[in-house]
Structure 1
Amino acid sequence: MKILAIFFLFIQSQLLLAQTNIQGVVKGQSGETIPGVNIFLKGTYEGVSSEIDGSYKLETTLTGEYILVFQAMGYNSLEKEISLQGESLVLEVTLREAINEMTAVTISAGAMEASDEKKAVVLKPIDIVTVPSAMGDIIGAFQTLPGTANVGNDGRLFVRGGDASETAIFIDGMKVANAFGTTASNVPTRTRFNPNLFKGSFFSTGGYSAEYGQTLSSALALNTVDIPLRNQGDLSIMSVGGGFAQTLTSEKNSITASANYFDLSPYQGLIRQNFDWERAPFGWDAEIAAKQKWGKSGMIKAYVHTESSGMKIWTKQPDSEGRGQLVDINNKYTFAQSSFKQIGKNDWSYYGGFSYSNNIDDFKIAADEIRNQNKLFHGKMAAVKSFSDKFSIKTGLESYFIRYSEQLISQDLKREIVDNQYNLFTEADYYLSNKLVFRGGLRSGHSSLANQTWLDPRFSLAYKFENEGQVSLAAGTFNQMPLEELRIINPTLQNTKAEHLILNYFINKNGRTIRAEAFYKGYNNLITFEGQRFNYQKIEQTGEGFAQGFDIFYRDQKSIKNTDFWITYSFVDSKRQFARFTEMVQPSFAPRQNASVVVKHFVGKLKSQFGTSFSINDGYTYHNPNLPGQMNSKTRSFQDMSVSWSYLPKPNLIIHLACSNILGRENVFGYQFSEQANDNGIYEGRPIGMQAPRFLFLGIFITLSKDKTANQLNNL
């Protein structure tokens, strides 16, 4: 027994001698201790967790070479090689924050996203098509967002004191030329594309990525739907026309074909119009969209859209009798594009494509017959490399081919310009932590027609607070070639320039979104001229200007049951010397104060969504030749209250009724004055108003599918 006791004491002493104590404290990069860190020897079951103060102590009888692992949610794993020899080890370690999409800070200065793919977005695709005042138009919905101005007699997108030509539109990353339908002066237009095509959008009010160029104020990037959910046919019967779309889909590919026709003549025969139409607007369009999955992680998309439209309108002159001048417009338009995305090996990804736009306008004004044609080819190839979860680089090459011609058919005269533009862009994102990210980029360009090369530096910085709110700063230089209708007269015109500075606060939490942004935009090399379109003279680049102000956006989906609403307010102080003005003036398209409210409420028992939107601004400036100075007068405030009712009596049937300006306010957008004074020395003028006091829209949308549960909202 004595021998056995001595034997056990010997074994115990050897075990105690072989035991290793590993201890220390786990901290973060800022020096804070991290509790709950999993600490274990790789390939074994031996491990502990750090205490509330970050301390840990691991005891083991193992010997030899091992790897000690430190793991914690939100941090990068850390591995250390250690040698276990029965001696105590003290290891003080520092874990670096892991960057992940759900918790990391993102660049928000100037950026507003509408998608279902990211956590922090302003709107979803379905929000765009259900804004009452939009009447199904994409741009109409964006006019309720901060930074935009509602210019009711135009219909295009005006952003922070910039002209509509300063906003570029992209579909799946490819440039769209002539994205709006051709129209007569003071007759509002719409985008050419069906909102049901798109799964999301990225709308920038400034300070945007180096990937986008040739636009001074804004970039609107629209992303099309991937593979649709099911086979279905969609029939649309509307108060202004109708259409049909058929979708065929499988697991790896799909194709959608559609055709639409509209004619406002029957509608205008029932509803009184303020415009003198000889032939109300009419037209048709057809399109095909195809998608194909490529390998395990790629997608190829192709899209073709073609349309034809026309109108005839009498434009009354302020100092003349009768109906005035007859303007006859016919437009033919084609847009085609193909794009691809592919995730490669070693954290590489690739995307790109090409697009083709061809717009032909035929005008008959009095005895003159004029044809304008604008062609654009755009090709892009880009690659993104993630070197780590903190650092990535995007770089790409673009090529633009532009051909623009004007033809005076009645006199057999024609002129044309051709420009090749080449662009190289590169941009890097570096996450210093989950709370701090820096983005820097450069965009270079060259125009063969202007014989000009330029370089645009841009950067953004964003910091995230503990309450999940974040602040962003963005700045950069932006270049844009003048309009082709000016370059065809003076091909040596150089880029117009803008410099952006933006400070942004953004928080999206618990169904509520707050976005506040202050901005400054300076302009140089703006175009000045005398005369008017088809007769420009003395074209120079001596203009300049600025726009400064702030935006506030609040959206709430939680406070009121079954109710979603957002409120927007924008203040813009904008002045510029441009066009025919010889001094700094406030542009007519830049009201100083703009506000909007959108409310949507769903009533389950009635299977209905009721909506209302209200937009207001402080009026539009205009030039009154009877008063001294330029842009010396201002209209009263613009106000529009619109309402809508969407009724779903069956899963595959939607009835939508909407009415704009339901209160019938007589909005005035400016005044048109005669070129010559009358016998009393007065320039006679007439108001530029609305096409009609109200616009009433009724649509019946029927979806034909095998299970009879699908509708046209499926893909939004």
Structure 2
Amino acid sequence: MKKSTYTFLFFVISACGFAQTAHIKGVVLNEQNVPVQNVLVQAQHKQVHTNTNGFYFLEVTPAENISIQFQAENYLPVTYVESLRENQSFELNIRLSDASEQLQELVIDKNLRQRFEGTTIISPDVIRRIPGANAGVENILKTLPGVYSNNELSTQYAVRGGNYDENMVYVNEIEVYRPFLIRSGQQEGLSFTNTSMTDKVDFSSGGYQAKYGDKMSSVLDITYRKPTQFGGQLDASILGGGVTVDLASKDQKWTAITGFRYRNNALLVKSQDVEVDYKPRYLDAQSLITFQPSAKWEWSLLLNASKNVYEYTPLVKRTKFGTIGDAKEMSVYYEGSEIDQYQTYFGALKGVFKPNLENSYKVIASAYHTKEEEYYDIWGQYAMGNVSGDLGGNAGEVEYTVGLGSQLNHGRNNYDALIVSAEVKGQHKRGENEIEWGVRYVSEDVRDRLVEWEMVDSAGFSLAHPYFSTPNNQPYEPYQGELLPYQNVRATNFVKINRLNGFAQWSKRGAIGEHETFVNIGVRGHYWNVDAEGYETSDAQFTISPRAQFAIKPNWDNTDMVFRLSGGLYHQPPSYRELRAMDGSINPDVKAQQAVHVVLSNDYSFKIKETPFKLFTELYYKNMSNVNTYTLENVRIRYRADNNAEAYVYGADVRLNGEIVPGIESWFSVGYLKTEENYNNKGFIARPTDQRLKLGLMFQDYMPAIPNLKLYLNQVYNTGLPGGSPSYVDPYDYQIRLKNYMRTDAGFSYIFKDQTFTSDKKWLQPFEEVAVGFEIYNLFNNENAITNTWVRDVYSKVMYAIPNRMTMRTFNLKLNMRW
């Protein structure tokens, strides 16, 4: 962005300033569900009266234990206590009674409800502040146990032995999708979720309820905030930036929040061992517009448009590998380039109707369109040699070359997909009971062209396809077979998928003696058919997925503990990616993968010297059938599309949360898992996501001598995945693991002003928050590898694994401003 643009934004921001606030709103009804007018609502010496629709809106100062009082003639008064954070919009709907001073069951302890349901709550402030090469919601998820990613340039993550396609992501109850042709993390650019627009983030890594969709691993449920006044946020760094603007009408009927983001990963890519001309441009615009004409109706429109242009021209790559006693270096000189474009457009209209406090109905219609192009022609000529270990002056230099060759990669891939959906949902409360249901129709129209081939030679001798039957004994004997590319995939597919799915579930808060309990029982159904041009019409398929949860909070003295048992049958009907085999052909008859989840959990809240801590522990087991095995290379997944395997996953997750600094949360997590698959009854071997050991640390602190200076630490350690072998080989012959992955990102932020630190400086008066940060990515400069490049030497009949390393140590500067 040009300097003049930043200057203009600065003056716009400086022109407007507002105090730190939170907002309380809702509807007041009587026992006959009739709105009550002229009810006096008071909090913090501020007061308003409800209008003719029983609606009220109150602005307060964020604080702990805010007392909210409701008083009206002929009704008994009601008091409710709530803690509110900065910029929070809290909805409190109550019913007044002339017979009881109790609030009855209209106000639910939301924190306890989430503990019962087993969701992890992540604060948007933590997401915004914690450093990372690809900062955002996914950056924090990677520190949780059971969540795996060894690619700091990617927003993709694997959960408890699943892959990237097994995770659901919802924004305001609307399912979102990721690009299809993305092969590497550095092509992604931006996550769909705009952190600056986020109000609430819930995450479940297994055993989730029937109301969530048909995936086998996890649910990320994100809610964008609804602004109550004009405001905004500016985030800028060397890697890019974003601007978010909040708008609201005086009567609160109209609100809008809009965010613009720009990202450029050139700084990170240039820290690798590849000299490259790299011009990425990642642009994104999102907007959430809401209209509330009355207390019973609310409409919202979510819009998103993004365009990623990835231009990649590699020049030279030098990689040292091997051991101290047998060190080698590979130098690659490139010609050619890669130009990719990913354009996505997304829109969703949502209507909510609440005729009374017991019932609500929702209608959601959405459309997602993506157009993707992936064009590349890259020729690499490589030379590999032994590195001298002589300390006399030639240490580190190549003594002599042991291998020569070249490799030509060609691709012309196009993908165009339109996904349209319509959904109706309902929620009904009857005392302690709650019933939820929903029906959704989805139409997927995919147009896909795949053209990829690779030629490989060594010293002028072309290497044939690894599965070609004609013997190839070059250079000792002339090659008599047909000259074919080393790898060659060509396909053009036109596929339509129609889906109809729905759910129904029942929940109840109750008690066994003096112990609080929660029960949830539900079922999902999914019907779909596939129409692939050029293939026989497949039979329609149907799955049923029953699920259940039970939680109990014992009434033990001085012990705050919740036990939870959850699980069920989880089906994953195939997406287009799962229908397409590795040779590009389509199998319309691919069945839904299915998994039986069993999750036993406990969370324990306690204090050590007045410092609050929470200990979360989960044991889990998944038994999977109709498994569609796949290969994983960077972030690209390719399936065999045959359902010809079985698999299992088991493990344990432990996470300790604590407010070592009051009001600032940190955590340490440990996870262990093991996952194996059995393909065609060959026996069980490790799956591509067999993570084994995971350690994660998210730490926040400040310097006592300089309280305005805060420290943020994000650290992850994962044992290596079995992804070190070539993607085209039989995994039963090659079970090679990558190196262990370890990465530490550190951030330092100086707070000029926020909700804790005030300032009398005149230039800071228009702002609620101003902070300047300095970040160090990969603090200890660990050489992490995402995959291996396999170099073939014809003369020695040896294949060398050359690690493709991720980003090295990188520095970044940040500026955050809120007004």
TM score, norm. by length of structure 2: 0.67
The residue that corresponds to 1:684 in the other structure is: 800
- Measured after TM superposition, the shift of residue 225 of structure 1 is 0.5
The residue that corresponds to 1:695 in the other structure is: 810
Q: Within 2, Cα distance between the matches of 1:460 and 1:171? A: 24
The residue that corresponds to 1:198 in the other structure is: 198
**1:568 is aligned with what amino acid?**
S
- Return closer, same or farther for 1:257/1:386 CA change in 2, 3 Å cut-off: closer
1:151–1:158 Cα contact (<8 Å) kept: no
The residue that corresponds to 2:403 in the other structure is: none
Q: How do residues 266-305 of structure 1 correspond to structure 2 at under 5 angstroms?
A: 267=267, 272-305=271-304
Q: Find the partner of 1:513 among 614, 622, 632.
A: 614
- Cα offsets for 1:548-575 (capped at 9, x unmatched): 0110111111x44565321111111111
Q: How do residues 172-571 of structure 1 correspond to structure 2 at under 5 angstroms?
A: 172-178=172-178, 182-184=182-184, 190-226=190-226, 228-250=227-249, 251-265=252-266, 267=267, 272-313=271-312, 322-323=333-334, 326-345=337-356, 347-366=358-377, 367-388=410-431, 390-407=432-449, 414-433=492-511, 435-449=516-530, 451-466=540-555, 467-488=559-580, 489-508=586-605, 511-528=612-629, 539-557=641-659, 559-561=660-662, 564-571=665-672
Q: Within 2, Cα distance between the matches of 1:268 and 1:369? A: 27
1:149–1:590 Cα contact (<8 Å) kept: no
Q: What is the DSSP-based 3-state SS (H/G/I as helix, E as strand, rest coil) of the residue aligned with 1:215?
A: coil
- Measured after TM superposition, the shift of residue 321 of structure 1 is 5.3
- Return closer, same or farther for 1:685/1:300 CA change in 2, 3 Å cut-off: same
**1:403 is aligned with what amino acid?**
D
The residue that corresponds to 2:736 in the other structure is: 633
**1:307 is aligned with what amino acid?**
S
- Cα offsets for 1:118-147 (capped at 9, x unmatched): xxxxx3221222222365321011111222
Q: What is the DSSP-based 3-state SS (H/G/I as helix, E as strand, rest coil) of the residue aligned with 1:469?
A: strand
Runs of at least 4 residues of structure 1 off by over 6 A?
A: 69-74, 185-188, 315-320, 409-413, 529-538, 625-628
Q: Within 2, Cα distance between the matches of 1:210 and 1:340? A: 22
2:273–2:318 Cα contact (<8 Å) kept: no
- Measured after TM superposition, the shift of residue 413 of structure 1 is 7.4
- Measured after TM superposition, the shift of residue 677 of structure 1 is 6.0
- Return closer, same or farther for 1:148/1:413 CA change in 2, 3 Å cut-off: closer
Q: How do residues 55-134 of structure 1 correspond to structure 2 at under 5 angstroms?
A: 101-102=108-109, 106=113, 108=115, 111-114=118-121, 123-133=122-132
Q: What is the DSSP-based 3-state SS (H/G/I as helix, E as strand, rest coil) of the residue aligned with 1:622?
A: coil
Q: What is the DSSP-based 3-state SS (H/G/I as helix, E as strand, rest coil) of the residue aligned with 2:779?
A: coil
2:118–2:564 Cα contact (<8 Å) kept: no
- Measured after TM superposition, the shift of residue 212 of structure 1 is 1.6
Q: Find the partner of 1:666 among 755, 758, 783.
A: 783
**2:108 is aligned with what amino acid?**
E
Q: Within 2, Cα distance between the matches of 1:262 and 1:669? A: 22
- Cα offsets for 1:484-503 (capped at 9, x unmatched): 13425112212111110000
Q: How do residues 589-608 of structure 1 correspond to structure 2 at under 5 angstroms?
A: 589-603=689-703, 605-608=706-709
- Measured after TM superposition, the shift of residue 100 of structure 1 is 6.2
- Return closer, same or farther for 1:262/1:638 CA change in 2, 3 Å cut-off: closer
- Return closer, same or farther for 1:628/1:495 CA change in 2, 3 Å cut-off: closer
Q: What is the DSSP-based 3-state SS (H/G/I as helix, E as strand, rest coil) of the residue aligned with 2:139?
A: helix
- Measured after TM superposition, the shift of residue 340 of structure 1 is 3.2
Q: What is the DSSP-based 3-state SS (H/G/I as helix, E as strand, rest coil) of the residue aligned with 1:384?
A: strand
Q: Within 1, Cα distance between the matches of 2:130 and 2:733? A: 37
**2:528 is aligned with what amino acid?**
S
Query: How many corresponding residue pairs?
Result: 599
Q: Within 2, Cα distance between the matches of 1:598 and 1:501? A: 28
**1:427 is aligned with what amino acid?**
Q
Q: Within 1, Cα distance between the matches of 2:239 and 2:131? A: 17
Q: What is the DSSP-based 3-state SS (H/G/I as helix, E as strand, rest coil) of the residue aligned with 1:683?
A: strand
- Cα offsets for 1:448-484 (capped at 9, x unmatched): 2151011110011111112231101011111112341
Q: Within 1, Cα distance between the matches of 2:579 and 2:180? A: 21
**2:123 is aligned with what amino acid?**
K
2:358–2:428 Cα contact (<8 Å) kept: yes
1:656 is aligned to 2:759: no
- Measured after TM superposition, the shift of residue 306 of structure 1 is 0.6
- Return closer, same or farther for 1:603/1:229 CA change in 2, 3 Å cut-off: farther
Q: What is the DSSP-based 3-state SS (H/G/I as helix, E as strand, rest coil) of the residue aligned with 1:540?
A: coil
Q: What is the DSSP-based 3-state SS (H/G/I as helix, E as strand, rest coil) of the residue aligned with 1:202?
A: strand
Gaps of 5+ in 1: 1-42, 44-68, 77-97, 115-122, 704-709, 711-716
TM score, norm. by length of structure 1: 0.76
Gaps of 5+ in 2: 1-73, 75-97, 320-329, 378-409, 453-488, 531-537, 581-585, 753-763
- Measured after TM superposition, the shift of residue 437 of structure 1 is 1.9
Q: Within 2, Cα distance between the matches of 1:109 and 1:673? A: 49
Q: Within 1, Cα distance between the matches of 2:576 and 2:318? A: 28
- Measured after TM superposition, the shift of residue 654 of structure 1 is 2.5
- Cα offsets for 1:90-134 (capped at 9, x unmatched): xxxxxxxx79633996464773332xxxxxxxx322122222236
Q: How do residues 138-149 of structure 1 correspond to structure 2 at under 5 angstroms?
A: 138-149=137-148
- Cα offsets for 1:171-215 (capped at 9, x unmatched): 111111117994537867641331111111221101111112221
**2:749 is aligned with what amino acid?**
S
- Return closer, same or farther for 1:300/1:659 CA change in 2, 3 Å cut-off: farther
Q: What is the DSSP-based 3-state SS (H/G/I as helix, E as strand, rest coil) of the residue aligned with 2:334?
A: coil
**1:700 is aligned with what amino acid?**
L
- Measured after TM superposition, the shift of residue 156 of structure 1 is 0.6
- Return closer, same or farther for 1:235/1:622 CA change in 2, 3 Å cut-off: closer
- Return closer, same or farther for 1:133/1:355 CA change in 2, 3 Å cut-off: same
- Return closer, same or farther for 1:348/1:326 CA change in 2, 3 Å cut-off: same
Q: How do residues 24-35 of structure 1 correspond to structure 2 at under 5 angstroms?
A: none
The more displaced of 457-466 and 358-367 is 358-367
Q: Within 1, Cα distance between the matches of 2:186 and 2:685? A: 21
- Return closer, same or farther for 1:538/1:506 CA change in 2, 3 Å cut-off: closer
The residue that corresponds to 1:615 in the other structure is: 716
- Return closer, same or farther for 1:655/1:614 CA change in 2, 3 Å cut-off: same
- Return closer, same or farther for 1:637/1:299 CA change in 2, 3 Å cut-off: same
1:619–1:634 Cα contact (<8 Å) kept: yes
Q: Percent identity between the aligned chains?
A: 16
- Cα offsets for 1:407-434 (capped at 9, x unmatched): 3599997421111100121000123426
- Measured after TM superposition, the shift of residue 358 of structure 1 is 1.5
Q: Within 2, Cα distance between the matches of 1:187 and 1:454? A: 35
Q: What is the DSSP-based 3-state SS (H/G/I as helix, E as strand, rest coil) of the residue aligned with 1:133?
A: coil
Q: Within 1, Cα distance between the matches of 2:551 and 2:108? A: 14
Q: Within 2, Cα distance between the matches of 1:201 and 1:581? A: 41
Q: Within 2, Cα distance between the matches of 1:185 and 1:583? A: 32
- Measured after TM superposition, the shift of residue 317 of structure 1 is 12
- Measured after TM superposition, the shift of residue 529 of structure 1 is 7.2
**1:442 is aligned with what amino acid?**
V
